[in-house]
Amino acid sequence: MINVSSSTSSSNTRPANDAASVVARRPVSPEDSKNAASISSNRGTSTTVSILALQLSDAATRAAASVEQKSTDPLDPITGEEYFANNTQHDAEIPNTTHPELLARARQATDFLNGHDTNPFNGLGRDQLNLIARDDSGAFTVNERRAAWETMQSMESPTASSSESVSVIGRDIMVSRLFNNREPPVALPPATFENITQRRSEFLTLDDRALIGDMYAYAQSQGADLAYVDRLVMSLSTYRYYSDGRQLSGNNGYDTDGYRVTLDFKPEDAATASSILNGSAINSTRIDQGFLRYILSPDHGSFINIGGIPFLERMVKKFSSEGADQPPLGSEFNTFKRARVEDHVVSTTHKDIRLPPSKAVTQVVNGVWSLTEYGKAEGYRLDKATRQVYKPAEPPTDQTQQRSTLNDPASEARNNSLFQALADTGEQPKTRWLWPGHLSKLMKNFKP
């Protein structure tokens, strides 16, 4: 039998907000769920211990009684693919009790595994964690067992075996969050009309995926909200999908009046971006340097990674040769905060720089062809049935029809590349910027 310390107590039992309805298989008796209880020690004395200590004592008794009686490893349901396949069910499970401490601990374990709280079993010894992880009686929820197992893995000495365990945890998290528990092969760019609905995460390289798994494992061990990693993954996935950013134009462009508009980071983010680009960690970081230079340029990264620069800086340093010297993640990453554009991006309109007036004769708005103001002023007419542009003195014929470049819906556009085709389509965005959001809109409305 494994001895349980009488001073064992649960820590960090901050309640979470998740609701649940699944009942644990082995209920905890309300009589056993007092804040403290007295049990007799081997010396005949009486000692006050916590609820968790009582549960651990029961778990030790069950473990001793079941030695060599089980044909399967009790860790399999919490460490293999079976765990992630039933993730929704595990997140809903709670113990069959009304005691607030037990309910809070179960919810905290679930929040920890989803990156929203700290591990409720931090501070327990390895033997105690092993009891919880292997106890399949139902006294602990599956997520409590998983949380205990992950804490146990993090206590390993810094050996190759320990690193492999952390990588397994991170990979499991990555596959669950990005690929719905089934990792696909690496998809190859460029972005095309055929793969526009494909998940961007599928274009992440094998090195990207290995690094992202390690980021998830590290963020979870630090009690950080995994949504911070999600945002970084989204930026990297977008970069990969568009041929490492080569298919995307910059964010700078012109407004509806034709004036030049440039974007920049707010001073605090700009200072952090400069620190990353000019620091020593960028030379050894596992994060793609091309991606870093792309995303930290305001002309490209202003909208792809809004508010994500502080976390990116921590990841650049942590996963570099300087990683061992980095401090733990601070509490500012415990709860994900959605960023607002106006809090991180500065837009400047340059009244001294303006596009020359457009000489396009026709335009397409919401799929409807019409003459531009310039076309009307020049005396052009539009045959809406044939989309031919002519002047009254020049009847529309195949030989004499006059069209602007925008008025040619087919011909050469069919053989153009994705972005040439987008450039030739009649529905040009008024701002003339090609952001991912604009790109999707353009693709939807493009009709060759």
pLDDT digits (tens, 9 = 90+) for 290-343: 999 999 999 888 888 889 999 999 999 999 999 999 999 988 999 998 888 888
pLDDT at 289: 96
For tokens 């919490």, what's the residue? 78
Percent of the chain at pLDDT above 70?
72
SS3 348: strand
Bigger pLDDT: 288 vs 357:
288
> Would you kindly state where each structural domain of the chain is located, as residue ranges?
22-154, 160-351, 362-445
180 contacts 201 by C-beta, under 8 angstroms: no
Any idea what DSSP says for residue 96? Answer: S
DSSP-derived pairing of the beta strands 93-94 and 22-23: parallel
Highest mean pLDDT among 27-41, 60-74, 418-432: 60-74
pLDDT at 82: 72
- How confident is residue 277, by pLDDT bands cut at 50, 70 and 90? very high
Spatial distance between the Cα atoms of 195 and 203, rounded to a whole number of angstroms:
11
**Average confidence (pLDDT) over 198-216:** 95
**Average confidence (pLDDT) over 408-419:** 43
DSSP-derived pairing of the beta strands 388-390 and 93-94: unpaired
pLDDT in tens, 183-197: 999 999 999 999 999
Angle between helices 206-221 and 160-179 in degrees, nearest 10: 100
CA dihedral 405, 411, 416, 418 (to 10 degrees): 80
**Average confidence (pLDDT) over 35-64:** 59
Spatial distance between the Cα atoms of 179 and 182, rounded to a whole number of angstroms:
6
pLDDT at 397: 56
pLDDT at 163: 57
Q: Is pLDDT at 5 greater than 70 in this prediction?
A: no
Q: Is pLDDT at 405 greater than 70 in this prediction?
A: no
Mean pLDDT of the chain: 77
Q: What angle do CA 5, 107, 171 make, to 5 degrees?
A: 90
- How confident is residue 249, by pLDDT bands cut at 50, 70 and 90? confident
Spatial distance between the Cα atoms of 62 and 80, rounded to a whole number of angstroms:
23
pTM of the model: 0.56
Spatial distance between the Cα atoms of 54 and 46, rounded to a whole number of angstroms:
14
- How confident is residue 81, by pLDDT bands cut at 50, 70 and 90? low
pLDDT at 396: 55
What Cα–Cα distance (Å) separates residue 324 from each residue in 211, 223, 317, 321, 375? 16, 18, 9, 8, 66
Spatial distance between the Cα atoms of 114 and 334, rounded to a whole number of angstroms:
12
Spatial distance between the Cα atoms of 54 and 311, rounded to a whole number of angstroms:
40
Peptide bond into 74 cis (omega under 30): no
Give 347's strand partners: 263
Please name the amino acid found at residue 405.
Answer: T
First to last CA, the chain: 75
Burial class (CB in 10 A: 0-12, 13-18, 19+), 176: buried
CA 279, 285, 290, 293 torsion-angle sign: negative
pLDDT at 36: 39
SS3 353: strand
Alpha-helical segments (H) within 114-141: 126-134
Q: Is pLDDT at 443 greater than 80 in this prediction?
A: no
Largest CA distance in the chain: 115
Half-sphere exposure of 397 (CA within 13 A, CB side): 5
Spatial distance between the Cα atoms of 283 and 277, rounded to a whole number of angstroms:
9
Q: Is pLDDT at 406 greater than 50 in this prediction?
A: no
Q: Report residue 10 as tokens.
A: 């649960």
DSSP state letters, 302-334: HHHTTT-HHHHHHHHHHTSTTGGGPPPPPGGGS
Instruction: Round the CA-based radius of gyration of the chain to a whole number and report it.
Output: 30
